[in-house]
Chain A
């Protein structure tokens, strides 16, 4: 047994600091320590600014929509009302979709689901600021990219149900979509792996003299992964045309963002050490998300290098259907989030412009409900996980390699025989 040396009495005892959030269950949500700069107060550097000129923006918040829903300041992207209404519609659709799929999981129709409640602007606004052919390397909670890029809701549900219409042949956990045609790369359960892949894709685009750029998304907790640092190193070194988004929704399952280092600095400030451009953005402000993404995209497209964007938001729901947030944070913390609800804020902005009203909003919500209900009906006609799931035994052995080698062919025979023996 190792002997423990006695502490020297003339020196203070060392102590370990373990960060704790501002409030725990039974307490009132306390976001008072979060500084919220006024909308419009952050300067907008020119797209070709030196990376260092963006670094003060890593410690503030790029905000466009003020408390009254008005678009103010230099980051106002001055979007056409038609586009604003479209973004609103897609954000509402994502919320309705999430709610129905959450319930479907509770009804036993699938094994798992993850909502993006409160984070709808992060993906939907970014999708519109990118070009359709730009490549996305998302993590979970970016289903808004698919919705905004026109992926059929029924295909998303088929994937969630692992049913006979599942484009991924029943192999992926629900919400781990993939759609090459819409530039949405397959989601991995191992966190941060998509980040260096996004950089590699962007490097390849630059090697080939293409004009397409890549964007990656990661959560605040996953910034602690080695792949995060690998990705930002490579992106900076090779001046890769990539946008690296950190969705800081304050929680990695039950660990708050302080456990990933948020007490020490901002996540956007990670850009400073790597010498790349960085922005910290109000993630519940669709116009700010759009403006920052557009700025970063123009920069990448002009060979001016990568941008790291921290999207400051709040995960209003649990991590997933397997999580109970009442065990680690105050009830209704999401409702107390000082940056508000992204859908309400965009709606109020449109109302203020005279381009929207409560009646039209109610109609939009009903339309979204009907569309999602119809998609669910179609998807469930193809089966759910517990009833008519993806079940073609031969496909179990396909796509491991381009061709099926002898050992997999033998195992396929075994699987067929076992099914036959079970009378199937």
Chain B
């Protein structure tokens, strides 16, 4: 399965297993969403379980909260992560705090799914990576898969989770892994072992990172599309890098990070989002706080620039191997 099919399968499994699960969002019902993640599900489960929503992200999130308060498990789709901001207050001030402000009397078991990230010529309003805003919020879990197997297992875990989960899907790798070499042909998921996705129910635990490449020289912390960039760059440059796919940024798997950096003594943080106050800043600070006496070189961030995402100069903005390769070499030089 490609990632879209895997996500569709996760919905299918959960809609079939649990009558409390409903899925909705702009174009998510009859047509199955602009990326087709919910395709065919309305026909199978009926239009009161899978349905289209008005173009009002605050309304989508707010009504999903109300449904969760009732006892449903809503999976709300925000068509592009760039559009999530009209729903920001409902996520930040409401979903993330209702358990706390009611001393556990109410909880909000809901999932907000949204395609995010660049590399699709989406310009400045279809390419953003807003995960750091949500990582800053108390009470919200933020999950970002990098391959079809994880995508399905993590989405099922998110739907079963008692807390509100933001599920950001790296749309650049919906159909196949992308290593950042934009001028080379892309390999579809069909030729990748991580696309072997079981049909039924399984979970990938939230809050657990994966060591996707073992190495001794430097640790690369990445998630989403950037995991593939890290793997490709390490291979092309011949660097013995350990690549960690964080999979969840809140709660973070600090144990895996610490163990790896203490082993390698070097760390590069890689993400697509803008640099300043991005999640890389948090990762860099944590590594510095916890691994300082093991570090052989300063922690380096490789990120997008502090500008909106440009359309025509997308590949200048994109933090691909051209930016990661030199950063890895510089860290290894010290």
Given contacts A201-B70, A227-B62, A231-B62, contact A168 B94 (CB under 8 A): no
The answer on a CB contact under 8 Å between B66 and A226 is no
Interface check A180, CB cutoff 8 A: yes
Interface check B326, CB cutoff 8 A: no
The answer on a CB contact under 8 Å between A226 and B67 is no
Interface check B198, CB cutoff 8 A: no
Interface check A405, CB cutoff 8 A: yes
Chain A residue numbers with a CB within 8 Å of B107 are 402
Interface check B201, CB cutoff 8 A: no
Within 8 A of B (CB), among A349-397: 395
Interface check A233, CB cutoff 8 A: yes
From B56, B62, B101, B162, contact of A178 by CB (8 A) = B101
Task: Tell which of B85-93, B176-184, B223-231 binds the partner.
Answer: B85-93
The answer on a CB contact under 8 Å between B163 and A186 is no
Within 8 A of A (CB), among B72-103: 72, 74, 86, 89-90, 93-94, 98-103
The answer on a CB contact under 8 Å between A180 and B106 is yes
Nearest CB in chain B to that of A236: its residue: B54
Interface check B104, CB cutoff 8 A: yes
The answer on a CB contact under 8 Å between A190 and B99 is no
The answer on a CB contact under 8 Å between A171 and B103 is yes
Distance from B332 Cβ to chain A, minimum over Cβ atoms (Å): 30
Interface check B49, CB cutoff 8 A: yes
**Mask for A201-214, Cβ within 8 A of B = 1, else 0?**
11111111000001
**Once bound together, how far apart are the Cα atoms of A197 and B108, in whole Å?**
11
Chain A residue numbers with a CB within 8 Å of B71 are 204
The answer on a CB contact under 8 Å between B89 and A197 is no
The answer on a CB contact under 8 Å between A196 and B58 is yes
Interface check A41, CB cutoff 8 A: no
Nearest CB in chain A to that of B53: its residue: A234
Within 8 A of A (CB), among B111-148: 138-139, 141
Interface check B65, CB cutoff 8 A: yes
Chain B residue numbers with a CB within 8 Å of A168 are 101-103
The answer on a CB contact under 8 Å between A196 and B101 is no
Nearest CB in chain A to that of B46: its residue: A207
From B59, B64, B68, B102, contact of A186 by CB (8 A) = B102
Interface residue range, chain A:
35 or more
Given contacts A185-B106, A201-B67, contact A227 B58 (CB under 8 A): yes
Nearest CB in chain B to that of A402: its residue: B162
Chain A residue numbers with a CB within 8 Å of B72 are 204, 207-208
**Once bound together, how far apart are the Cα atoms of A231 and B59, in whole Å?**
6
Interface check B63, CB cutoff 8 A: yes
From B90, B252, B254, contact of A196 by CB (8 A) = B90
Chain A residue numbers with a CB within 8 Å of B68 are 200
Given contacts A171-B103, A398-B104, A399-B104, contact A405 B59 (CB under 8 A): no
The answer on a CB contact under 8 Å between A406 and B66 is no
From B54, B66, B93, contact of A201 by CB (8 A) = B66
Distance from B250 Cβ to chain A, minimum over Cβ atoms (Å): 8
Excluding A200-B70, A201-B66, A400-B139, 7 further A-B contacts by CB distance (< 8 Å) are A176-B101, A195-B62, A204-B66, A214-B66, A233-B56, A234-B53, A402-B163
Which 5 residue pairs are nearest across A and B when measured between Cβ atoms? A200-B66, A196-B62, A230-B59, A200-B63, A204-B70
